[in-house]
Amino acid sequence: MTTRWAVTGATWLIFLAWLVVASALHGAQWSDLFWPVLLLFFVAGTIGTGVRGFQRAREADRRQLKELREENLRIREDERAALARELHDVVAHELSIISLQITSRSRTDDPTELRQVLDSVKRSTHSALYELRLLVGLLREGGPDESDLGHLSDDTSVVGVAEQLRQQLSDLGHTTMCQVPAEIDDLPATLTRTLIRILQESSTNIVKHAAPGGICQATIRLTPDEVVLSVTNPLGSRPPAADLRRGPTGWGLRGIAERVDLLGGDFSAGPAGDRWVVRASIPLSADELA
pLDDT averages per 10-residue partition of the chain, 290 residues: 58 63 59 63 71 81 84 76 68 71 72 77 74 70 48 65 86 86 90 89 82 88 93 70 42 81 91 91 73
Regarding whether 255 and 137 lie in a shared domain, the answer is yes
Q: What is the residue range of 17's domain? A: 2-65
Regarding whether 234 and 179 lie in a shared domain, the answer is yes
Contact 188, 250 (CB under 8 A): no
Residue 191 lies in a domain: yes
Regarding whether 146 and 88 lie in a shared domain, the answer is yes
pLDDT at 109: 76
Rounded Cα–Cα distance for residues 195 and 197 (Å): 5
Regarding whether 270 and 148 lie in a shared domain, the answer is yes
| DSSP string for 207-253 | HHHSPTT-EEEEEEEE-SSEEEEEEEEE--SS-GGGGGGSGGGGHHH
pLDDT at 15: 62
pLDDT at 227: 95
Regarding whether 228 and 118 lie in a shared domain, the answer is yes
pLDDT at 245: 37
Residue 74 lies in a domain: no
Indicate the DSSP class of residue 188: -
Residue 284 lies in a domain: yes
Q: How many CB atoms lie within 10 A of CB 164?
A: 18
Regarding whether 115 and 19 lie in a shared domain, the answer is no
Regarding whether 161 and 34 lie in a shared domain, the answer is no
Regarding whether 37 and 169 lie in a shared domain, the answer is no
Residue 73 lies in a domain: no
Residue 19 lies in a domain: yes
Residue 133 lies in a domain: yes
The domain total for the chain is: 2
Regarding whether 264 and 220 lie in a shared domain, the answer is yes
User: Given strand 175-179, what is the order of strands in its sheet?
Assistant: 175-179, 215-222, 226-234, 275-283, 266-272
Rounded Cα–Cα distance for residues 189 and 56 (Å): 47
Residue 254 lies in a domain: yes
Give me the long-range contacts of 20-23 (CB less than 8 A, separation at least 24): none
